[in-house]
Chain A
Amino acid sequence: MFSRATIRPFLLAITWIPVLMTAREFVHVSQIKGKSMRPTLNPNDNSTDWVLVKLFRPRHRERNDIILFRAPSDPNVIYCKRIKGLSNDALYLDHKDMVANNKSQLTLVPNGHLWVEGDNTHSVDSRSFGPISDGLVLGKVLCVIWPPERWGTNLNRWVGRDILAPDTDAESN
């Protein structure tokens, strides 16, 4: 029924699967669901964005990078948020007006942890579950690749609220 000549291409294709899986560890295409990163990603309800993700673990992280990480509450769920604070940063938890009235509290991100927030105010992020461990980070979002009219979107045009406390405050804290 199956001659040798028909099976052989299939077997050859199967041997390439591990190579493809290894390639996927460097870059990966991923769909963004939900509106927590609005207006940067998923700006309207009509379409969902597909983004290119660099999964290869970068050793250094920068503020305002968009990252994918495993949710602390469920390891099978992956969140996409923006880094707002690196380890040992002092951050304001609340709005600037509260800061001006000295009503805001400062929080210190522990060593080896990151403070992540969605661009949308209504997002489940570090404001609800606290700083996340650096080991949960999976990758960094590089660019939007689908839909085509959103090619070349500047991901850092809107970087969320400004919550980083000046260094002097961090020292006094």
Chain B
Amino acid sequence: MTILKTTTTLLKCFCLLHQVHVHLYEFTQTRGESMLPTLSAQNDFVHVLKHKKLIHTVGGPRGLRIGDCIVLMKPHDSSQRVCKRITGLPGDIIEVDPSYDNDFDNSFIRVPKGHVWVTGDNLSYSLDSRSYSVVPMGLIIGKVVAANDFNKKWYQRDSITNKINFLGYRKIDNNYTDCK
């Protein structure tokens, strides 16, 4: 009887954890150079919020906005996940690659309904919407809100604010400003 009770309790705990992991929150490692100033190339762990309202709606106080850092599945390989920043919402007109100098090579596209335009922060070393075009919002897995950098010491005193910072924790803000 006690074995049965322990098993059911373990099962319930495991399922609860699994549900939180699937629907609410995830803590995962990121790799790669594409988000370099924001996230380091290795040993960087991100806190991802995965609630449906956060990632499948646009605008509003909680939905997707320009400048949000998101985790999404690669459109051409659903087993791989990438971390990018939203730079275009449905209805926006996007210049595909502003780094071209002449106007002839440039093309502008309008992001269709239910799609987003994503780019990495390290534009010169990032495979993103400039090569695979717009991404459907159904591929978005979660929104990155904070990160822990395990390259740093496990605690560090900030020289400016004089606060102790554990495990390189920092918030990843939406620092987008509209310069109208």
Contact = CB atoms under 8 A, between A and B. Distances in A.
A19 B11 contact: yes
A25 B23 CA distance: 12
B77 A112 contact: yes
Given A16-B12, A73-B113, A135-B73, A112 B138 contact: no
Contacts of B109: none
Given A75-B114, A133-B136, A136-B138, A19 B78 contact: no
Interface of A is mostly: mixed
Contacts, number: 71
A72 B140 CA distance: 12
Given A25-B22, A133-B139, A136-B136, A113 B11 contact: no
Instruction: In the A-B complex, list the 10 residue pairs whose CB atoms are closest, starting with the nearest.
Output: A135-B78, A70-B138, A135-B73, A112-B76, A18-B15, A75-B138, A73-B114, A18-B16, A72-B136, A75-B56
26 contacts: A15-B12, A18-B12, A18-B15, A18-B18, A22-B15, A22-B18, A70-B138, A71-B114, A72-B114, A72-B115, A73-B114, A74-B114, A74-B137, A75-B55, A75-B114, A76-B57, A110-B76, A111-B76, A112-B74, A112-B75, A133-B78, A134-B77, A135-B74, A135-B75, A135-B138, A135-B139
Contacts of B151: none
How big is the A interface, by class?
20 to 34
B73 to A, nearest CB: 4
B168 interface: no
**Most central of A19, A71, A132 by chain B CB within 10 Å:** A19
A72 to B, nearest CB: 4
Interface in A71-88: 71-76
A136 B135 CA distance: 11
Helix, strand, loop or mixed for chain B's interface?
Answer: mixed
B19 interface: yes
Contacts of B19: 18, 21-22
A140 to B, nearest CB: 15
Most buried by A among B15, B55, B56, B140: B15
Interface string A122-145: 000000000011111100000000
Contact of A113 (B12, B22, B76): B76
B22 A70 contact: no
Nearest to B52: A76
Given A73-B114, A112-B78, A135-B139, 10 more contacts: A16-B12, A18-B15, A25-B22, A75-B55, A75-B136, A111-B77, A113-B76, A133-B76, A134-B78, A136-B139
Interface of A: 15-16, 18-19, 21-22, 25, 69-76, 110-113, 132-137
Between B78, B115, B136, the greatest number of chain A beta carbons within 10 A of the residue's beta carbon is seen for B136
Interface string B116-137: 0000000000000000000011
B15 to A, nearest CB: 4
B67 interface: no
A53 B83 CA distance: 30
Contacts of B12: 15-16, 18-19
Contacts of B115: 72-73
